[in-house]
Amino acid sequence: MLHQLMELVRKKNIFRWDKKKIEVKLIATILYYAGISLRKTSKFLKDFEKFSHEALRQWYHKLAQLFTNSRKYRRCIAIDETKIKIGDEWHYIWAAIDVETWEILGVMVTKWRTSIDVIRFVKNFLPYCENKPLIKIDKAPWYRWALQRMGLKYEHETFGERNAIEGWFNILKARLKRFWKRFPSNASKESVEKWLTAFVAIYNLEVRIS
């Protein structure tokens, strides 16, 4: 994965102003992605290159620029949301997954859970679909009206193909436990969304090369 990540970073020229070695930056971000803290990662790699935990945080957030998906026919997409804490306030993470490729097509953070949020979220990932895919949802009331209004077919499902999105949320929650189940109190909704987008960019790369 390191080789593919390096190719993408160089192609997009993400680290153009930083003099640290790209290899060290990417190894550090992968270790952080895997769950090692910012401080522990910087200490672990200090014999190769010295950098601060804040520098690593910035490198990781820059990887959000790598998030992209190809536009193609997608038969079925599962969407769901989960509750998280940012500081002392509850927010919701929305995610959409292609049930056949297991690629995450979109993530979003909101304060509320409404049908308007559903419309905003679906509009984020539909550009990656050549067609109008079948949407797999749970029975939450905010989905039906929004998807009907957008002219999208949907099915309620507890297990089956919705296992794909449940499985991805399990991966995410396991990583978030490193934050003691909540993001730091000084984090903003925007920074959390950027963190998530970087997480998804690396996750999708793993899926595509596996």
pLDDT at 181: 55
pLDDT at 59: 94
The alpha-helical segments, DSSP class H, found in 36-149 are 38-44, 53-62, 115-125, 141-149
pLDDT at 2: 85
pLDDT at 186: 74
SS3 173: helix
> How many Cα atoms sit within 13 Å of 40 on the Cβ side?
9
Tell me the whole-structure pTM to 2 decimals: 0.93
The CATH superfamily label for domain 76-186 reads: Ribonuclease H-like superfamily/Ribonuclease H (3.30.420.10)
Per-residue pLDDT of the chain (210 residues; tens, 9 = 90+): 888 998 999 888 888 766 788 899 999 999 999 999 999 999 999 988 899 999 999 999 999 999 999 999 999 999 999 999 888 889 999 999 999 999 999 999 999 999 999 999 999 999 999 999 999 999 999 999 999 999 999 999 988 999 999 999 999 999 988 876 567 667 889 999 999 999 999 999 999 998
